[in-house]
């Protein structure tokens, strides 16, 4: 099998890249190890930055998002039983975010790819990327019990942290920066309308809590728990009671309860692999970087990566110049490190560490009070939350 761009992974990054290349007349093949149902139902991110929304619309993948997504013009910060709203459009010249689950983004892009695009091969497990440093890289993969080879001009690894693409970068040229946090998120999906019309980030001495949503009838909520916690250690009543405590305010606000349909625990880590390119292999999304979910950056960073690659390849086709492809890693990493910085800031702002002292707690409250009272501090948060420029 032969193609111009071999894409490993049919998450939102791989699917969007295939869509962007198709619209530019560049052929691509997508290899995905899981089946279609799994890809369309795995719960991941749900916050789309302004730039991500704009890219999906421009790619012809925004119709259902615009119809069913929930535009949010701010977030609420809670601490010491008080509420403080950060108005995004007022601080960013009109930018906002949209709540639209990654599962729905994938469904939309899969439907478009199967209808209009090139091959999208489910249950095709990538085994290795070979010859990445040469002119003709190839992806060995297994499908229906048989091994095959995809010959490419370029390979883009959108196959996540545990995928095979990053392993093709020689250890001698790789540099890894990472941090593991001593806490995790216990997340639930509940069949109950959200208790607030925007996301609520709460700092409490007992731990962080987040009130989010997947739709107007499904709530998504999180609790800070110790690293290594198992979801089954918490009963439904214990979860709701703890959410009540951490989200409580002095103005009579109440948390709505409903049937919990899913529980999971998300570890917290920061990770950056440099460079994001080796020869004709390009890494994108979680294959190259991980952020703690506090800043809502993971999916959006992946979108930025594939937009950068698509623009660079189109530029090379139109001008003959490889300059943008050569700059891919440096271009992406500028955005990646800003997102890492913001996600780290939000995480350390809102999560009490297990060994936190009264001084640490005082600093967190002071940082939150500064955001609540300062237009400049709110602007910095709003600009980062709604998204750094793509590319």
User: Considering 154, 201, 222, 328, which one is annotated as catalytic?
Assistant: 201
Angle at 372 between CA 379 and CA 199, to 5 degrees: 80
Instruction: Give the pair of three-digit tokens for residue 87.
Output: 């108005």
Helix (H, G, I), strand (E, B), or coil: what is residue 329?
A: helix
CA atoms within 13 A on the CB side of 142: 7
Per the listing, tokens 């001698």 go with 172
Local structure of residue 294 (DSSP, 8 states): G
Return the C-alpha torsion angle 216, 49, 40, 121, nearest 10. Answer: 160
User: Considering 72, 196, 204, 351, which one is annotated as catalytic?
Assistant: 72
Query: Is 201 among the catalytic positions?
Result: yes
User: Considering 100, 183, 222, 385, which one is annotated as catalytic?
Assistant: 385
Query: Is 72 among the catalytic positions?
Result: yes
Angle at 180 between CA 175 and CA 182, to 5 degrees: 170
* Cα(370)–Cα(362) distance, integer angstroms: 12
Contacts of 325 (CB under 8 A, 6+ apart): 277, 309, 312, 313, 315, 316
Instruction: Give the pair of three-digit tokens for residue 319.
Output: 């001008």
Query: Is 315 among the catalytic positions?
Result: no
Q: Rounded to 5 degrees, what are φ and ψ at 169?
A: -85, 120
Query: Is 182 among the catalytic positions?
Result: no
Cis peptide bond N-terminal to 275, omega within 30: yes
Q: Which helix (H) or strand (E) holds 267?
A: strand 260-274
Q: Find out whether 159 and 331 touch, Cβ atoms under 8 Å.
A: no
User: Considering 137, 194, 292, 293, which one is annotated as catalytic?
Assistant: 293
Query: Is 328 among the catalytic positions?
Result: no
Give pairs for 232-239: CB < 8 Å, separation 24+: 232/263, 234/186, 234/263, 236/260, 239/186, 239/188, 239/263
* Cα(186)–Cα(49) distance, integer angstroms: 24
**In this structure, are strands 260-274 and 289-290 parallel, antiparallel, or unpaired?**
antiparallel
User: Considering 297, 328, 351, 352, which one is annotated as catalytic?
Assistant: 297
Q: Give the residue numbers marked as catalytic.
A: 72, 201, 293, 297, 385
């Amino acid at each position: 099998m032969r193609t111009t761009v071999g894409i490993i992974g049919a998450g939102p990054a791989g699917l969007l890249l295939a869509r962007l290349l198709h619209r530019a007349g560049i052929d691509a093949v997508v290899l995905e190890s899981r089946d279609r149902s799994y890809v369309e139902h795995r719960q991941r991110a749900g916050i789309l930055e302004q730039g991500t929304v704009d890219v999906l619309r421009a790619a012809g993948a925004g119709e259902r998002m615009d119809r069913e997504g929930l535009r949010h013009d701010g977030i609420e910060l809670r601490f010491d039983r008080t509420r403080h709203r950060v108005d995004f459009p007022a601080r960013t010249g009109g930018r906002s975010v949209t709540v639209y689950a990654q599962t729905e983004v994938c469904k939309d892009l899969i439907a478009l790819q199967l209808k209009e695009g090139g091959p999208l091969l489910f249950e095709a497990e990538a085994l290795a990327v070979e010859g990445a440093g040469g002119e003709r890289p190839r992806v060995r993969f297994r499908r229906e019990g048989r091994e095959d080879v995809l010959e490419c001009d370029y390979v883009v690894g959108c196959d996540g942290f545990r995928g095979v693409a990053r392993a093709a970068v020689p250890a001698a040229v790789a540099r890894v920066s990472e941090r593991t946090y001593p806490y995790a998120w216990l997340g639930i999906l509940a069949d109950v309308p959200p208790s607030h019309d925007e996301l609520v980030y709460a700092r409490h001495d007992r731990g962080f809590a987040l009130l989010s949503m997947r739709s107007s009838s499904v709530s998504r909520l999180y609790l800070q728990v110790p690293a290594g916690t198992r979801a089954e250690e918490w009963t439904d009543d214990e979860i709701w009671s703890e959410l009540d405590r951490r989200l409580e305010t002095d103005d009579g606000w109440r948390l709505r309860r409903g049937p919990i349909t899913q529980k999971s625990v998300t570890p917290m880590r920061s990770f950056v692999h440099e460079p994001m390119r080796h020869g004709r292999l390009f890494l994108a999304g979680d294959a190259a970087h991980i952020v703690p979910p506090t800043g809502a950056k993971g999916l959006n960073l992946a979108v930025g990566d594939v937009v950068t690659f698509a623009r660079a390849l189109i530029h090379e086709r139109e001008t003959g110049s490889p300059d943008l492809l050569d700059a891919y890693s440096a271009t992406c990493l500028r955005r990646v490190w800003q997102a890492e910085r913001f996600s780290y800031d939000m995480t350390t702002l809102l999560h009490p560490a297990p060994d936190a002292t009264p001084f640490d707690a005082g600093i967190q409250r002071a940082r939150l009070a500064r955001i609540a009272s300062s237009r400049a501090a709110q602007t910095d948060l709003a600009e980062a939350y709604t998204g750094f420029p793509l590319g």
